Chains A and B, each alone.
Chain A
């Protein structure tokens, strides 16, 4: 079943008199529980695509059908609500609230979802335990390592139990070892039924996914299945 269906999406920026086609014409279908990597040179439109898929941005042209709903027609509030319930973001720069501890950062999406305090607390704690940070709940981002921060971000993305996880270069700011750990976490998340879309510059990171979509100049260059999937921490799978 398609969870995401975009057809002839374009995103055009007007810079002065010039039109920048960040995305020219992109059509993709993604199934439930798929694990997709998006690759491409810098400026090829990966982040733009992720923003549209994540309902942070709307396309200039084309149709975006998310779980049977026409997202291209939605207003700000409806988009915010979809982001809150259906989408979990993981960013390259973590994007945690600097003044709040890990627990509160993970609780925040649940606050916006209107989950009662006790349940919220419980779910946030479970999510943090799930990413191996049971003993770091009261730490603020600047008291955590990069890898730990990213795990807080993953916990925050997972806590609402969203339909898809969108990760834009989640390992970009991490060393290889820590990046591997995050990839292991993603593997686990994917095996428990979540759909993951991941942007990366690293071939070996992309090969953890089942499918790689390659972008160039706002167009799909290649959409391929990964034949030999990598399993985190060195073991080859299949």
Chain B
């Protein structure tokens, strides 16, 4: 083992010297490894970031939830025009469903409007305003940094109160103190009663609770749009994950009754679940993966060829040295190991540079609201990929070196 380490050290010193002597060639050969490792690390980091964000989203919105909606979120079997032609789900439908449903833990309506929120000279645009009732908070796991959700009393009265997501609060009230203040939404005054803690699910975009504001649904109809236009989403929470299917069955049969469907008619509503969101995210992840693997594969392939080439040259240049080593007792596998470790070390250096590039890259990406961090796994990934590439690309030259005839090698000038 010690000998091996010594040989590796020796190999490292020799290969570092060779690298220094041929800077341009070395940079070009490790460039492939650098790009390959950087892209694989960035890719895995991005995917991990997306997944984590999604998990957070599921955690804050609740994993045992169903969303009864006119639109199926991610169903490609039903053509969009068919969904468009469906009757809207109305507040009356919601009330009937609420009366009839026995299994859910909590039920709340949701109607949305996109509006600008202003406070003094600050404003945030195109905020998904969620109009709902006081039960909404029980369908989620949202947590508060300040204040509270609106009460049953405020909800029933359709009061002009609002709960702000953390990002909105941060922008409008950078120094805190939002509670009790009045913000203007679409020109109307609302009193802030609560500010949410950061939920951190950026992957959900404008549906990220951090970027939403919540107020009693009556406000939507009062200020922003007619009660008779637009569909209501009914948010339903099952008591536990085992009950989700039963709640879904029940919801389908109740909704069919409410909507007056005959037995041979298709459902004219959708029961959406977060799994749908997951499969959609998996598609995105899949695209990133394919693109990343393609770049990585290509770059590593080019890099490996380059390393193989430089190693063949190195073996040729050092034929005499190989002869000397063999003459004084180096076995074939010793020579094999020496050259393979050299290739591996060159690749490792490239890989570490690639890792550095990826870390810088992730910092840059993080500036664009895509908080990704390179973690220990990524380091392990980078190191192992570059080592494997090194071993694979070093094998053929090392094998050639190990097979050299000592007499011929010694005679080489």
Contact = CB atoms under 8 A, between A and B. Distances in A.
B328 A108 contact: yes
A208 interface: no
Given A95-B324, A117-B2, A109 B329 contact: yes
A51 interface: yes
B198 interface: no
A85 interface: yes
Interface in A104-145: 104, 108-109, 111-114, 116-117
Contacts of A111: 3, 6-7
A83 interface: yes
B314 to A, nearest CB: 13
Contact of A117 (B6, B327, B329, B406): B6
Contact of A76 (B3, B7, B327, B332): B332
Interface string B314-351: 00000011011111111110100000000000000000
A56 B7 contact: no
Interface residues of A, number: 30
A99 B410 contact: no
B14 interface: yes
Contacts of B171: none
B328 A84 contact: yes
Given A56-B406, A56-B407, A57-B407, A116 B2 contact: yes
Contacts of A77: 331-332
A156 B14 contact: no
Contact of B410 (A80, A81, A95, A109): A95
Interface residues on chain B, size class: 20 to 34
Nearest to A107: B6
Nearest to A85: B329
A112 B407 CA distance: 19
Nearest to B17: A99
A54 B410 CA distance: 13
A114 B407 contact: no
A84 B406 CA distance: 13
Interface in A70-99: 76-77, 80-81, 83-85, 89, 91, 95-99
A195 B327 CA distance: 18
Contacts of A51: 407
A78 B42 CA distance: 49
Given A108-B325, A111-B6, A114-B3, A80 B330 contact: yes
Nearest to A48: B407
A145 to B, nearest CB: 20
Contacts of A113: 329
Nearest to B14: A99
Contacts of B331: 76-77, 80-81, 112
B410 A112 contact: no
A112 B332 contact: no
A56 to B, nearest CB: 5
B328 A89 contact: yes
A33 to B, nearest CB: 23
A112 B334 contact: yes
A111 B321 CA distance: 16
Interface in B285-334: 320-321, 323-332, 334
A97 B329 contact: no
B281 to A, nearest CB: 54
Nearest to B324: A95
Given A95-B324, A111-B3, A83 B332 contact: no
Nearest to A78: B331
Interface string B402-413: 000111001000
A69 to B, nearest CB: 16
22 contacts: A51-B407, A56-B326, A56-B406, A56-B407, A57-B406, A77-B331, A80-B326, A80-B332, A83-B326, A83-B328, A84-B329, A89-B328, A91-B410, A95-B410, A97-B324, A108-B328, A109-B329, A111-B3, A112-B3, A112-B329, A117-B2, A156-B328
Interface of A: 51, 54, 56-57, 76-77, 80-81, 83-85, 89, 91, 95-100, 104, 108-109, 111-114, 116-117, 156, 160
8 interchain residue pairs of minimum CB distance: A84-B329, A112-B329, A109-B328, A80-B331, A56-B406, A95-B324, A57-B407, A83-B329
Given A56-B327, A117-B6, 5 more contacts: A56-B406, A84-B329, A95-B320, A95-B323, A97-B321
